Amino acid sequence: MRVCIVGAGAIGGLIGARLAAHTDSEVSALARGETLAALNASGWRLRQGETLVTGKAQASSDAQELGPQDVVVVAVKAPAMAALATQVGPLLKPDTIVMPAMNGVPWWFSQGLTGLGNQPLQSVDPGGAIARAIPLRHVIGCVVHLSAATAEPGLVQHRNGMGLIVGEPDGSASARLAAVHGLLARAGFDVTSSPSIRHDIWYKLWGNMTMNPVSAITGATGDRMLDDPLVRGFCSAVMLEASSIGARIGCRIDQDPEARHAITRELGAFKTSMLVDVERGKPIELDAIVTAVHELGRRTGVPTPNIDALLGLTRLFAQTRGLLAN
């Protein structure tokens, strides 16, 4: 099987290294800069505990050079997706599977949802350009439940978790879903095939759509946010609004915000990915994590005063620091 990783950073690099080391797949990467040079010089490299996982890599900044693939794993940050989508065409053949391993609401999320039609989410796919470049028929959804960091370009450090949830957007138990599940399982991932991948995406978002932006604004770790009763209460109010939106789009969440807070609090003094991006001066994934939920609230008729406040404050914070992608 030919697999291409688009975005060989922390998550993409981890997936690529495991596939290259533990399956018979030919694993390439669409990359650039120092990551491109490192992959071509040293191949895939992943540290898991005391073990260095390695594998052969073919990397290029030109998709045409890599050619058509059986599976394309997209693991870029959401702000980079619109520019990248126009470059992946040469990787696709009629039956290529595209698996976005990304944070937040993906570009394909609203397609086919009852009451939303096929109109793209302008917050994550302005004008539908991504959907035209990567049609829904190629997509298998994915939710990532693992964490990693790049110790240096081309070298990934695994932190915790090996969970991946995969599923067809239409909920079917297809042969290609079984093939992807098997491939990832052979690579050592804790894989779950879901009949409701949109719900899984929404549930993960339900927890991190507050922690991420609040940490970005305040610089606080997870424990400090949840130990402040006013901040915790605000986060709960945001989550209740998101629950109401979820109920309108077939992604009902039965859990109480306090129950989710208790799970998050067990993680201790962690830094969210958005806070890490702020500290590194990188664009934050605001649109996929908050703006898309705000847009879905408007399209479903759910009042969202707390989501609106969270979005406005975080957007202004990011604008004043040049942390929003152009």
Q: Which residues are catalytic?
A: 204
Nearest to 275 by CA among 319, 316, 221: 221
Phi, psi torsion values for 284, nearest 5 degrees: -90, 155
User: Which residues face 141 on adjacent strands?
Assistant: 167
* Length of the chain (residues): 326
CA-closest candidate to residue 55, choices 16, 29, 8, 7: 16
At residue 325, what is the residue type?
A
Contact 183, 125 (CB under 8 A): no
Determine the residue type at 112. G
* Torsion, CA 313, CA 319, CA 320, CA 322, rounded to 10: 140
HSE of 185 in the Cβ direction (CA atoms, 13 Å)?
10
Cα dihedral 208, 210, 216, 217, rounded to 10, equals: 180
Q: Are strands 71-74 and 58-60 parallel, antiparallel or unpaired?
A: unpaired
**CB contact at 8 A, 218 and 204:** no
Judge whether 255 and 263 are in contact, CB under 8 Å.
no
Between CA 46 and CA 162 the distance in angstroms is 13
